[in-house]
Chains A and B, each alone.
Chain A
Amino acid sequence: MSEVEETLNRIKTHKGVSGIVIVNSEGVPMRSTLDSKQTLQYSALISQLAAKARSVVRELDPQNDLTFLRIRSKKHEIMVAPDREYILIVIQDPNADQGS
């Protein structure tokens, strides 16, 4: 438990990180630093998008697999790191002031 917390803290302390969500393979959020409404939104939307991105990569080359997905928008960047069972979602706005 402490290792998990430690890693999450390390990520959180980076500049501009506004939220972290860990989602399992079914799309159910396990851990989150955002409020429940946003958590739900992010988990539902991002897990679908990650699944779609993975299927794109694998269709183009079945030996390939998705390792990282970055969505850059006007206001911030969403980083999605998928794994076999879980997905880690980090939202960062590097121009924002550090605020927890």
Chain B
Amino acid sequence: MKLYCLSGHPTLPCNVLKFKSTTIMLDCGLDMTSTLNFLPLPLVQSPRLSKLPGWVLKDGNTFLDKELKECSGHVFVDSVPEFCLPETELLDLSTVDVILISNYHCMMALPYITEYTGFTGTVYATEPTVQIGRLLMEELVNFIERVPKAQSASLWKNKEVQRLLPAPLKDAVEVSTWRRCYTVPEVNAALSKIQLVGYSQKIELFGAVQVTPLSSGYALGSSNWIIQSHYEKVSYVSGSSLLTTHPQAMDQASLKNSDVLILTGLTQIPTANPDGMVGEFCSNLAMTVRNGGNVLVPCYPSGVIYDLLECLYQYIDSAGLSNVPFYFISPVANSSLEFSQIFAEWLCHNKQTKVYLPEPPFPHAELIQTNKLKHYPSIHGDFSNDFKQPCVVFTGHPSLRFGDVVHFMELWGKSSLNTVIFTEPDFSYLDALAPYQPLAMKCVYCPIDTRLNFIQVSKLLKEVQPLHVVCPEQYTQPPPTQSHRTDLMIDCQPPAMSYRRAEVLTLPFRRRYEKIEIMPELADSLVPLEIKPGISLATVSAVLHTKDNKHVLQPPPKPTQPPASKKRKRVSDDAPECKPLKPLLSGSIPMDQFVQTLEKHGFSDVKVEDTAKGHIVLLQEAETLIQIEEDSTHIICDNDETLRVKLRDLVLKFLQKF
């Protein structure tokens, strides 16, 4: 059993598990942090960005000044943003049989895999994962395609050139493999390969293994996966949460008794407790608005935004913010808000019960009804007519490199009254803000990551007790910036096996058993013989029939009568030829009784010698030797077949036949 690790990002995993005869890709995350190296894509012409000076090498060489721009000491690529794909060289991805998706954030690289690698298998995911994943992909494509960029930079990617660049460009990994965003047809093609599954549904893969999605509590439709055969169980835990937010609670019990537990997608900000961060978010938002400023919240169109809107629903009246408009701008804003209300079966218990009242499970419906929350596909159109300040704007993309957020950063960045509040933990807020410097607006970092923290992991592992834990290497040591925090790492026994990008792990357990079925007719014909009290044996003569990874023992074909005709037997005869079987023997020979028996039959000079493995019985007169060992008996006599048969029969008297 092997694990191929194609992604170095612990929360955007992409691993391939080879288990029995199947090749299973676990998640398909797309590392978008590469886009932070690019200049933002403004929706309207930005004089500031277009006037940025080109970057000049120390020696005055200007050959890169068209591709690279400098802003407040940082260098950015002036080109369409590109993404860092999962490793494609480690194994032939066309051999992947299935892809299991655990949540909508972990499927963003799907079109790159299904459309470019010769993949012919099936993708399994839950319905909300697919629907919201589609929204995220569509939003991403829309953000990038609506701002076409004539220029495409590639000179800087040259290894020799990259060496000369300042950090972080210099240290960016595998820039040659970075790719532009996929297109809508590619998204559609990729999504068409998905087969929808429900929680606890058992899916057979070629009869070899069974995969089952389990609720992971992190997002709508998010799942952990159980991959099991009859005698082995692998659990794949990715992006789980034990907090009571909107999704259905995590199913922990089904993870018990795993041989291997692959653990990914823990919280990216283990020191920030989501409750505290929500409090911070609300306080900062209220403070800004009270002072007449605007609040910008760069976010994804689904996920934490639902919880934030719910908190604000309860908070705005108490904070005196009832008259402040909340805007949610995204090409998929409407769909996201509406989808969230229809996935009742995937929601937490409280929200599910609301549906039966009937009430919308999320209170943002009421915010929309009362006009407190308004949503728009983009800043163009209706939004510009309704726009009132001070206000709160939720919009994407959290990387601040594309999407409507770029416009608001340019618009509000100059005033210290305004605040940008980062709630998505995927991007470093300092890096995200770098191309907007110098910036007067206030920046607040309130990352809300509801995924498991290390205390919860430690409790989970105690509870489910897997034999082995496998996780990204980042989880086996304290975070580099807080090396004294030994509590911020996985602590389990035996220590977790760690992996890094482009590594292949041989998982530490061996398959020892395989299940074989016996046909009823064959079972009927067996005659068990009790060897010891409680233990019976029977010989089985059968044909092992293996098809679709299922093994069946069928009765052997009856010995064929010699054909009447003298026709030559056809080679393609179905049943193999069977010889009549000799019985098997069992038991041990008690030496004293054996000697007595020999003497009774006229062997007078019997001598017994003990050897390391058993006994040697010497019949001196007959010049014969009987070698009796645990698993074999030899009668060595000099060409006297009668004597040999006689002795053999005497030996057989002491053994059982079956």
* A and B together in one complex: no
Chain B residues within CB distance 8 Å of chain A: none
